Structure 1
Amino acid sequence: MSIDTDHIIPFPILIGDIGGTNARFAILLDANAEPKEFPIIHTADFATIDEAIQAGVLDKTSLQPRSAILAVAGPVKGDEIDLTNCDWVIRPREMIRDLGFEDIVVINDFEAQALAAASLGPEYLEKIGGGEIRESSSRVVVGPGTGLGVSGLVHARHTWFPVPGEGGHVDIGPRTARDFELFPHYETIEGRVSAEQLLCGRGMMNIYRAVCQTSGVTPAASNPSEVTAAWAEASDPAAVETIELFVTYLGRVAGDLALIFMARGGVFLAGGIVQKIIPALQEPRFRQAFEDKAPHSAILANIPTFVITHPLAALSGLAAYARTPVRFGVSTQGRRWKA
């Protein structure tokens, strides 16, 4: 895929992080301005993204963005972009016609998280365990949310290149005796257990229900927030085990991805779920699972892991790209539309 050499994106720029559940928007007036943020939009409240932008952004400001850079949860291909966990379909040509944009760029949501991993300061990174960042080395972002997002970040020619993909759908299997008890009870997708089946909001509930079933107890929690609350209060042994298993599985998958990318620049955990369970991630089991990769455990021990604590990390990454597109090797071929 060739890199678009036209780096000019006209201001003001609407930046948007479109997830399966929520959409977050801000307007960047110029390269030196801080983003003007707007209230979070629940995707289920609007039939289309066009209606959401009109009601949630354009009707609330006198600024008329000339451009839009949107990060979406799903692969970007063609003039109609389906979101993986949301009913919205993004049609950039119609947005240009109906909402007055001159220029629209659409990238994968975890490319935006990767851009954040390249641009956030240490004040927004909570380190988990040992290892040190090796400058200009590859990085990986892993984010359990509505689904499991994964993106790589490769440095070459003084430029950060985000590498989008669907790494959340890799296989994950049992290793311990407890795993072998639980895995037959996990809900599968077409007969297999993918990482996303365990490492996202519904994945957490998948683990919780299996723990309750194999332990012979009635589930007390009905959603991920209740599980994490019960874990934090230590009021439900099934919730406590669920979070322990969640961080263990996350460590295994993060370690696999670190090996795939040889991510000596670090592995960055993104999203609201990991921010809520930082104390569990700080316990030894996450790093033990991350480093348990014989014959390469020594390599993993030297790769640092972080939780991204910025509340709007994807928007921060998009803002960094909007200010200086030339700094990032974001391919816009087939992903940019102009009036």
Structure 2
Amino acid sequence: MLRRDDELTGLDFPVLIGDIGGTNARFAILVDAQAEPKEFSNVETASYGNIDEAIQSAILDKTAIQPRSAVLAVAGPVSGDEIDLTNCNWVVRPKVMLEKLGLSDVVVLNDFEAQALATVALGEDSMERIVDGAGDAFGSRVILGPGTGLGVAGMVHARHIWIPVPGEGGHMDMGPRTVRDAEIWPHLEPIEGRISAEQLLCGRGLVNIYRAVASANGAKPAFSTPAEITSSALDETDANAVEALDLFVTCLGRIAGDLALVFMSHGGVFLTGGIAQKIVPALKRGNFQAAFEDKAPHTELLKAMPVFVITHPRGALAGLTAFARTPVSFGVETEGRRWRRD
């Protein structure tokens, strides 16, 4: 077991940095603490049988830089020496990576810890404010992002450092709230008998909502992909798509408000990922904010909390880079999540 003083020691450069999601993986190499990271093209996880093959082929074979350490963020809980990704068939085996990739040190975090780190690493020029609120620079924060799944994390400030709090909040139950919800909910596709937030608030979740809305309206679905639904909704060319995106945004506001209360996130709520970036106009229409603040008896409390969309295309890598440069600046727990060559 690692001692606390061992956990706080720095990483040997160069450091391979990776943000591994269910659909895409993004990588960079940080040569030293002062350098800008060398970034590589996105890797589609479905194109490679495993992460080691992807790193070797898409990264190491394309550079003369040999990383000595790696900091990876993965979409799933980090536990044990074999780490399964929730929405991808890759399994991360750090001990194998040490041998196969010539590394001496591997740290594996949850992908939304990286997104939480990004809220500190990035400035407001990399974000778009969608709900006003006074905010508190050192207040607790909530991070959530609909993508291949629904990621959730917290970020708290204590003892002069920022501490990311990973979790699986995307799997909380989500039920109907209005009369119209009650008409739509029976048409939603459940998982093992229940509707979780992730079953609605991700790419396939938007499709799930759209099909349910169409079914409730006695219509045949015209679209089968999130991109088609989003485009038609934003262009207002399909009534079912418009209602589906409105419900998606409303449900996102509801769960964002719930999480803001859990964390008392006076520092703000941060929406991340490609879906949030693509639907900013819908997020600004008002139903997100109305659902976010509809938390009686604490409506006024929610009104004081700002909400941002992180618009940086590789925010998680920016967060991981900040951590790799100075691990002691962050309260990232690495016990059981750091593997080193003897």
Same fold (TM > 0.5): yes
| 2:187 alignment counterpart | 185
What is the alpha-carbon distance in structure 2 between the residues aligned to residue 332 and residue 2 of structure 1? Answer: 10
Q: Supply the AA of the counterpart residue of 1:145.
A: G
What is the alpha-carbon distance in structure 2 between the residues aligned to residue 187 and residue 252 of structure 1? Answer: 20
Check if 1:160 corresponds to 2:162.
yes
What is the alpha-carbon distance in structure 1 between the residues aligned to residue 64 and residue 304 of structure 2? Answer: 50
Check if 1:138 corresponds to 2:137.
no
Question: Which of residues 218, 227, 230 is equivalent to 2:229?
Answer: 227
Q: Deviations over 1:143-198 (max 9, x none)?
A: 00000000000100000000000000011111111100001111111111110010
What is the alpha-carbon distance in structure 2 between the residues aligned to residue 15 and residue 245 of structure 1? Answer: 36
Unaligned runs of 5+ in 1: none
Question: Which of residues 18, 26, 32 is equivalent to 1:16?
Answer: 18
Where do 1:229-244 residues align within 5 Å? 229-244=231-246
Q: Which moved more, 1:234-243 or 1:63-72?
A: 234-243
Q: Supply the AA of the counterpart residue of 1:163.
A: V
What is the alpha-carbon distance in structure 2 between the residues aligned to residue 322 and residue 98 of structure 1? Answer: 22
Q: Which moved more, 1:183-192 or 1:201-210?
A: 183-192
| 2:70 alignment counterpart | 68
| 1:59 alignment counterpart | 61
**TM-score calculated relative to the size of structure 2:** 0.97
Contact 1:2 1:331 survives alignment (8 Å): no
Q: Deviations over 1:227-257 (max 9, x none)?
A: 1111122111111111110110000000000
Q: Supply the AA of the counterpart residue of 2:88.
A: C
| 2:130 alignment counterpart | 128
How many residues end up aligned between the 2 structures?
339
Please tell me the root mean square deviation across aligned C-alpha atoms, in Å.
1.1
| 1:80 alignment counterpart | 82
Check if 1:297 corresponds to 2:309.
no
What is the alpha-carbon distance in structure 2 between the residues aligned to residue 201 and residue 5 of structure 1? Answer: 37
Question: Helix, strand or coil for the counterpart of 2:164?
Answer: strand
What is the alpha-carbon distance in structure 2 between the residues aligned to residue 246 and residue 223 of structure 1? Answer: 14
Where do 1:205-224 residues align within 5 Å? 205-224=207-226
What is the alpha-carbon distance in structure 2 between the residues aligned to residue 2 and residue 174 of structure 1? Answer: 47
Q: Deviations over 1:286-324 (max 9, x none)?
A: 010000000111100000000000000110100111111
Q: Supply the AA of the counterpart residue of 2:34.
A: N
Question: Helix, strand or coil for the counterpart of 1:133?
Answer: coil
What is the alpha-carbon distance in structure 1 between the residues aligned to residue 67 and residue 171 of structure 2? Answer: 36
Contact 2:7 2:334 survives alignment (8 Å): no
Q: Supply the AA of the counterpart residue of 2:16.
A: L
Q: Supply the AA of the counterpart residue of 1:129.
A: V
Offset at residue 2 of structure 1 (A):
8.0
| 2:277 alignment counterpart | 275
Q: Which moved more, 1:225-234 or 1:165-174?
A: 225-234
What is the alpha-carbon distance in structure 1 between the residues aligned to residue 215 and residue 332 of structure 2? Answer: 46
Q: Supply the AA of the counterpart residue of 1:14.
A: L
What is the alpha-carbon distance in structure 2 between the residues aligned to residue 231 and residue 292 of structure 1? Answer: 24
Q: Any runs of at least 4 consecutive aligned residues in structure 1 with deviations exceeding 3 A, and if so which?
A: 1-5
Q: Deviations over 1:195-225 (max 9, x none)?
A: 0010000100010000111111121111001
Offset at residue 6 of structure 1 (A):
2.8
Q: Which moved more, 1:257-266 or 1:217-226?
A: 217-226
| 1:325 alignment counterpart | 327
What is the alpha-carbon distance in structure 1 between the residues aligned to residue 239 and residue 3 of structure 2? Answer: 52
What is the alpha-carbon distance in structure 2 between the residues aligned to residue 213 and residue 39 of structure 1? Answer: 40
**TM-score calculated relative to the size of structure 1:** 0.98
Question: Which of residues 286, 289, 295 is equivalent to 1:287?
Answer: 289
Contact 2:22 2:75 survives alignment (8 Å): yes
Question: Helix, strand or coil for the counterpart of 2:16?
Answer: strand
Offset at residue 7 of structure 1 (A):
2.6
Offset at residue 5 of structure 1 (A):
4.0
Check if 1:256 corresponds to 2:268.
no
What is the alpha-carbon distance in structure 2 between the residues aligned to residue 193 and residue 230 of structure 1? Answer: 25
Offset at residue 33 of structure 1 (A):
1.1
Question: Helix, strand or coil for the counterpart of 1:334?
Answer: coil
State, as a whole percentage, how many aligned pairs show the same letter.
63
Q: Deviations over 1:29-58 (max 9, x none)?
A: 111111111111111111110000000000
